[in-house]
């Protein structure tokens, strides 16, 4: 039930959804001859689309979310395992074109590979469940196959392919960690996602260091353009969904405060 509700929330916390609802209200008001509402709703719809499609709004929200992603990873520690959270493989595209495709969060995989390659981590837990339209069992399989192609030994890779969201990532990874008796852990995920992910892993009783990657904000360029862009609307949508996720996870008790 929670998985279904989380997908509904994803839809509701999207500026495009708000704009479409307002446009529908405007159409309804026009049919009902309610002049003020018929004029105001489309204007509000346009304003939402414009505001969430420009640099100042999109990057301000992202920077606010990323500011909580504190890096605690230590160079002088050899970790029992690096935990790499999924959400980056685009398996339906892979199968359509016969090659590997990854989204913006591919830095999660690169950071995990670097930890394994340099010996900073002995093992990796690759956490990600079934992909949309995928023939493979899980995203964990996709990531493991990629790391194997890059020269990482198969016996260093633990595939966690049952989880469908961040809460389940934490539950399943905690089970693996306890079974293997690991104590030194490094958690890798996107900076914007780190607070919620770390809160979930802490709620499962795990102690770990954090390595946030895939930063999407900067100190320059935030006021470069006030022209609307589709990719900025997407950025705003991702950020708003992450904010909603934090609130819901805390309310459900899935995540504790972090850091």
* pLDDT tens per residue, range 158-177: 999 999 999 999 999 999 99
| 109 and 22 in a common domain | no
Mean residue pLDDT of the chain comes to 91
For the chain, what percentages of helix, strand and coil (3-state, to nearest 5) are there? Answer: 55, 10, 35
| 243 and 205 in a common domain | no
- Per-residue pLDDT at 218 exceeds 80: no
Nearest to 182 by CA among 193, 190, 191, 173: 173
Give the pLDDT score at 100.
Answer: 79
Give the pLDDT score at 13.
Answer: 87
Domain hosting residue 92, numbered range: 79-213
Specify if 145 maps to a domain.
Answer: yes
Contact 226, 55 (CB under 8 A): yes
- Per-residue pLDDT at 74 exceeds 80: yes
The pair of three-digit structure tokens given for residue 168, joined into one six-digit string: 């389940």
| 43 and 160 in a common domain | no
Nearest to 122 by CA among 186, 79, 151, 158: 79
State the residue for tokens 């520690």: 77
Q: Is the pTM of this model over 0.85?
A: yes
* Residue 3: pLDDT band with limits 50, 70, 90: low
Give the pLDDT score at 11.
Answer: 81
Give the pLDDT score at 231.
Answer: 92
* Residue 198: pLDDT band with limits 50, 70, 90: very high
Give the span between the Cα atoms of 30 and 65, in whole angstroms.
Answer: 39
- Residues 6+ away with beta carbon under 8 Å from 75: 120
């Amino acid at each position: 039930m929670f998985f279904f509700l989380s997908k509904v929330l994803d839809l509701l916390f999207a500026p495009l959804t708000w704009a479409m609802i307002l446009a529908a209200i405007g159409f309804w008001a026009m049919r009902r001859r309610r002049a003020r509402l018929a004029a105001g709703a489309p204007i509000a719809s346009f304003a939402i689309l414009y505001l969430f499609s420009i640099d100042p709004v999109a990057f301000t929200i992202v920077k606010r979310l990323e500011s909580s992603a504190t890096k605690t990873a230590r160079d002088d520690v050899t970790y029992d395992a690096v935990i790499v959270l999924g959400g980056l493989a685009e398996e339906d595209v892979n199968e359509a074109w016969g090659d590997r495709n990854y989204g913006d969060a591919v830095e999660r995989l690169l950071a995990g590979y670097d930890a394994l390659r340099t010996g900073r981590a002995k093992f990796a837990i690759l956490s990600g469940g079934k992909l949309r339209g995928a023939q493979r069992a899980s995203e964990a399989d996709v990531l493991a196959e990629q790391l194997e192609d890059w020269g990482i030994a198969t016996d260093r890779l633990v595939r966690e392919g049952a989880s469908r969201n961040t809460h389940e990532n934490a539950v399943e990874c905690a089970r693996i960690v306890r079974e293997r008796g690991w104590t030194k852990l490094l958690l890798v995920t996107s900076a914007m996602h780190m607070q919620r992910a770390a809160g979930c892993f802490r709620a499962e009783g795990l102690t770990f260091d954090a390595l946030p990657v895939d930063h999407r904000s900067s100190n320059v360029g935030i006021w470069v353009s006030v022209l609307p862009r589709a990719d900025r609307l997407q950025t705003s949508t991702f950020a708003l969904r992450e904010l909603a996720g934090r609130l819901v996870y805390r309310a459900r008790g899935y995540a504790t405060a972090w850091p």
